[in-house]
Chain A
Amino acid sequence: MIEIVNLKKSFDGQEVLRGVNLTIANKELTAIIGKSGGGKSVLLKHLIGLLKPDDGDIIIEGVDVTVVHGKELDSIREKFGVVFQGGALFDSLTVYGNVAFPLREKTKLGSREVRERVLGALDDVGLRGMGNKYPAEISGGMKKRVALARALITEPSIVLFDEPTTGLDPIILHSIHNLIMATHKKYGFTGVIISHEIPEIFGVADKIAMLYDGVIVEAGTPDEIKNSSDPVVKQFITGSLEGPIEIVT
């Protein structure tokens, strides 16, 4: 279970998170929705200790990740797999090298076992035979798939997805969502998805939380969010121009 308690973060005096409270249940897919630039990715980076909050706690399996450092933090990070917004694949490595990287660096597996697991992971994400390509040679959708394979290769208990479908066409978007659901079913990880793909995300996540103005305004099942009476949530999921959400064009 991940517990986010009163998390606050400012950049140059601008408050991005103003007291986020959220509980993420084990083995569930929780989506955090909200407008662009609203602090969703900032929240995600706090979960893995890439950013330190000004105040508040994040308790993951009994450990507060906001106060641990060094090897203790690294050992918590080993529980995570992260799919970054642009994939964050290493340019100098091939697709195979990228997926094999966490195994080579973090485990003592032999090259034969690494090979078997990497080829299996590439199969899982539909990229069989693409191992020799470099990130610059593959499409955006393929990069997201490779990033997913890399995130899952160490079989982490928590997987974070930072806008995994941004910039993709609707068909690829659906295929990535299906892939997330299929891998979630297969590996049983706790998943956190940052997204503003409405309504598609309702079919993917078990739970949805809406971040607005630096706080979680509502959290619940997709049906509860769809039927929410909160004006902010209603405006966001209908995409209406009229409502309390300030529109910056």
Chain B
Amino acid sequence: MVIFIRKLGVLTLSKVRGMGRMLLFLLNSLYLIFVPPFKFRVMLRQIRFFGNKSLVVILLTGSFTGMVLGLQIYYTLRKFGSEAMLGPAVALSIIRELGPVLSALMVTGRAGSALSAEIGIMKITEQIDALTSMGLNPLRYLIVPNIVAAIIVFPLLTSIFDLIGIYGGYFVGVKLLGLSSGTYFSQMESLVTMQDIRIGLYKAVSFGVIVSWVSCYKGFYTGYGAEGVSKSTTSAVVTSSILILVWDYFLGTLFV
């Protein structure tokens, strides 16, 4: 019994220490965003990295999510004779919820995993030690540009997802199921507010911080060899995805 309690204590302490280290990693990186010298060129490269890696996936998932939503919501609304509400229903679901969340999950799988693996390989090949040995802060060179890039890219990708998703719903509702184009858009115009769009973009920004933070952290503290990088990459995707969904719920309760 004593051994069990001791092991539980050791495990708890190690988890708490790990969480503390992860939080300090984020706070240090956020602080360095505002402290020169700024690494604009690296940041631009990372914006391209996130965008380039994820754009096609965002286009595909956005369009099919909108189409599925259009189909399912249309059949539900028809039971109440409210097909005219299809446009706002699709738009609100996508703008407030599915756009930011699905975009973030897709970017996590596509770019977050690649980012974690890249930093992990830099760690095990001593490239991070090389930076430190030159008297340079590796957070400034490797982590800060990724967090800033994600803060810029996530809302852009989410906006693209939203737009494509709404047109996916339009394609199914109007072109396939015969709803009038005017009804689809006019109801949307009157029921979707700027506040809804802002909520979606706030979520996208916070998800950007979560994905870049977790992916970079997992790579930065990777284990030994190829197995270590493999584990940290998987952990980056799983942890980011869980945090996205949990954080989405908390933000959802704030903005209801």
Contacts and interface: CB of A to CB of B under 8 A. Distances in A.
Interface residues of A, number: 21
Contact of B125 (A50, A82, A88, A101): A88
B135 A89 contact: no
- At the interface, is chain B mostly helix, strand, loop or mixed? helix
A183 interface: no
B121, B122, B129, B135: most-surrounded residue (chain A CB, <10 A): B135
B45 to A, nearest CB: 8
Contacts of A48: 133
Interface in A98-114: 101-102, 105-106
A84 B135 contact: no
B136 interface: yes
B133 A77 contact: yes
Contacts of A131: none
B130 interface: yes
A77 B135 contact: yes
Interface string A64-79: 0000000001110110
Contact of B127 (A45, A73, A89): A89
A91 B119 CA distance: 11
Interface in B112-148: 121-122, 125-127, 129-130, 132-136
Contacts of A90: 122, 127, 130
A84 B132 contact: no
A234 B235 CA distance: 48
A19 B102 CA distance: 55
Interface range for B: 10 to 19
Nearest to A76: B135
Contacts of A74: 135-136
A106 B126 contact: no
A196 B129 CA distance: 22
Contacts of A82: 129-130, 133
Contacts of A73: 135
A106 B135 contact: yes
Nearest to A105: B136
A88 B134 contact: no
A77 B134 contact: yes
Contact of B129 (A78, A84, A89, A91): A84
A73 B136 CA distance: 11
A38 interface: no
Contacts of B121: 91
Nearest to B132: A50
Contacts of A88: 125-127, 129-130
A80 interface: yes
A198 to B, nearest CB: 25
B133 A80 contact: yes
Contacts of A221: none
B134 A105 contact: yes
Contacts of B122: 90-91
B126 A78 contact: no
Interface in B66-90: none
B134 A106 contact: yes
Contacts of A78: 134-135
B134 A45 contact: no
Nearest to B42: A92
3 shortest interchain CB distances as A-B pairs: A74-B135, A77-B135, A88-B126
Given A77-B133, A88-B130, 10 more contacts: A50-B132, A50-B133, A77-B134, A82-B130, A82-B133, A84-B129, A89-B127, A91-B121, A91-B125, A106-B135
Interface of B: 121-122, 125-127, 129-130, 132-136
6 contacts: A84-B126, A85-B126, A88-B130, A89-B130, A91-B125, A102-B134
